[in-house]
Amino acid sequence: PLNRDNFTDDLRLAHLMADNADSITMSRFKSGDLRIDTKPDMTPVSDADVAVEEAIRSTLAKARPRDAVHGEEGDDTGWGPRRWVIDPIDGTKNFVRGVPVWATLIALMVHDEVVASVVSAPALGRRWWASKGDGAYAGKSLMKGELIHVSQVSTLHDASFSYSSVDGWMTSGRGQNFVNLLRESWRTRAYGDFWSYMLVAEGAVDLAAEPELALHDMAALDVIVREAGGRFTNLEGADGPKGPGAIATNRLLHESVVHALRPDARPEGDLDA
């Protein structure tokens, strides 16, 4: 039950909406009872994606009626400086196949800046959150969080690099840059989606990068990485969830990664030729 008196701040509201999202997603994930459609871009969407976004929108309509809402599975509503940005299930392909790496992403932007967010991955038993100026946390709930911090690794040679899919890089015109970055890094794994970025925030991975992401994929990740001491930029190195693409690092590695991913940094006669 959502009690209006509990909405003392936006982060608390985001946690309440994440709790509600978790109960919808977990029961559907465990039962496997899903209706799955294919979007025009040939990617899957389940009725659980839609149900979670509707639940979040209905809470916001009551609790923050003047705020705008932008979500992956619905139409934009409202306008003004405060805008909630929602990805009801990030990692839908995992969700529908029974892989536990998926999360509900809830972010609040004021003008173009992300000021608070929650990333909730109940099948991993993990949640991350941050609000501007207040540090980044991980744990099971708002009252049970621990401060997290990015790593101290300072060279690519010693760095662990996580990404999502290879095909996006191959069609991005930066395929050879990506391969070079894989070769230069100490360790590479495709933890994928939100998880790569949250592992950067908690210092388990040193850099994450994707060539193409939408605002709803990035907004919630941005403030958590920054508050954990890292940097979150587009592929050109401009701060924020602007796109195109997203690079998150422990800050120390950022310039090297931006440089390595510049199209003109790649040698002749390569994969993209």
Q: Segment near Ca ion (CB under 5 A), from 26-34, 67-75, 118-126, 150-158?
A: 67-75
Contact 35, 123 (CB under 8 A): no
106 marked among binding-site residues: no
* Percent helix, strand and coil across the chain, each to the nearest 5: 40, 25, 35
Beta-ladder partners of 110: 82, 113
93: part of which helix (H) or strand (E)?
A: helix 92-97
x/- mask, ligand IPD, residues 49-88, rule CB under 6 A, reads: -----------------------x--------------x-
Residue 217 CB, nearest approach to ligand IPD (Å): 4
Token pair recorded at residue 80: 């003004």
Site string for ligand IPD, 128-167 (x = CB under 6 A): ------------------------------------xx--
Sheet holding 126-131, edge to edge: 68-71, 82-90, 103-110, 113-121, 126-131, 136-139, 145-147
Number of residues that bind Ca ion (CB under 5 A): 6
How far is residue 192's CA from residue 159's CA, in Å, rounded to a whole number? Answer: 17
**Binder among 10, 206, 210, 222 for ligand IPD (CB under 6 A):** 210
92 binds ligand IPD (CB under 6 A): yes
CB under 5 to 8 A by kind: which of Ca ion, ligand IPD, none does 91 bind? Answer: ligand IPD
d(C-alpha 110, C-alpha 41), whole Å: 30
Distance CA 79, CA 191 (A): 35
Q: Which helix (H) or strand (E) holds 197?
A: helix 193-201
Binder to ligand IPD among 10, 22, 53, 193 (CB under 6 A)?
A: 193
On whether 72 is known to bind a ligand per the annotation, the reply is yes
Residue from 22, 67, 90, 210 touching Ca ion (CB under 5 A): that is 90
d(CA 91, CA 54): 18
87 has binding-site annotation: yes
Residue with tokens 């009551």: 62
Write down the least CB distance from residue 211 to ligand IPD, Å.
9
255 is annotated as contributing to ligand binding: no
Contact residues: ligand IPD, CB under 6 A: 43, 72, 87, 90-92, 164-165, 168, 192-193, 210, 212-213, 217
Contact residues: Ca ion, CB under 5 A: 72, 87, 89-90, 92, 217
